[in-house]
């Protein structure tokens, strides 16, 4: 399992999802932006508590360059996203995840596109599960708009989004 964490609420939401998964989703490889210190602390705390229940709990942390900073121009974000994709390719190749779980941070786009590319090249087929953030009620996030076309399962938490995006799966509130 490869989990993409994002700063702020994205990490909190993804850890809530992970708390519902059995120990068979192990080892867990987390990917986060190189400048994201808060998520690392949250992940380490989560994994320490999980280790109290599951003694064989295994996880790792990997960092990639942030694809887009807050308030970064759209033009320059194309360049930084391409750089992040190039950085993600060897990481995705090394980890060869069976499943990627993500929920909207910009960091997930390069990772998912790298995994998608490895699948196209028949190196490793990875299932991509994208869960749109609970705060996205009427429109998708930019990450969601991109990964709607590349994910195997696209989960939304509001019925209006299911109506607008027929490929999505509506499960109600899951975080």
Give the tens place of pLDDT for each residue, 113-159.
Answer: 999 999 999 999 999 999 998 888 889 998 999 999 999 999 999 99
pLDDT at 100 over 90: yes
Q: What is the pTM of this model?
A: 0.92
How far is residue 19's CA from residue 140's CA, in Å, rounded to a whole number?
A: 25
Q: Is 67 helix (H, G, I), strand (E, B) or coil?
A: coil
Distance CA 18, CA 122 (A): 28
CATH architecture of 2-170: 3-Layer(aba) Sandwich (3.40)
In percent, the amount of the chain with pLDDT more than 90 equals 68
Position 88 scores a pLDDT of 96
Is residue 168's pLDDT more than 90?
A: yes
Q: What CA–CA distance (Å, rounded) separates 2 from 30? A: 6
- Reply yes or no on whether the pLDDT at 93 is more than 80: yes
pLDDT number for residue 76: 85
CB-based contact 27:58 (threshold 8 Å)? yes
């Amino acid at each position: 399992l490869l989990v993409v964490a994002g700063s702020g609420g994205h990490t909190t939401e993804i850890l809530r999802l992970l708390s519902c998964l059995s120990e068979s989703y192990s080892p867990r490889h987390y990917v986060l932006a190189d400048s994201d210190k808060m998520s690392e602390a949250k992940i380490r705390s989560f994994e320490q508590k999980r280790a109290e229940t599951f003694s064989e709990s295994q996880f790792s942390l990997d960092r990639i360059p942030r694809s887009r900073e807050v308030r970064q121009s759209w033009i320059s974000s194309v360049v930084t996203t391409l750089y992040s994709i190039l950085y993600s390719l060897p990481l995705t190749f090394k980890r060869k995840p069976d499943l990627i779980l993500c929920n909207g941070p910009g960091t997930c786009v390069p990772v998912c596109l790298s995994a998608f590319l490895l699948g196209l090249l028949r190196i490793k087929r990875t299932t991509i599960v994208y869960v749109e953030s609970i705060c996205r009620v009427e429109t998708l996030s930019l990450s969601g708009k991109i990964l709607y076309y590349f994910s195997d399962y696209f989960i939304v938490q509001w019925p209006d989004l299911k109506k607008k995006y027929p490929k999505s799966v509506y499960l109600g509130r899951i975080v």
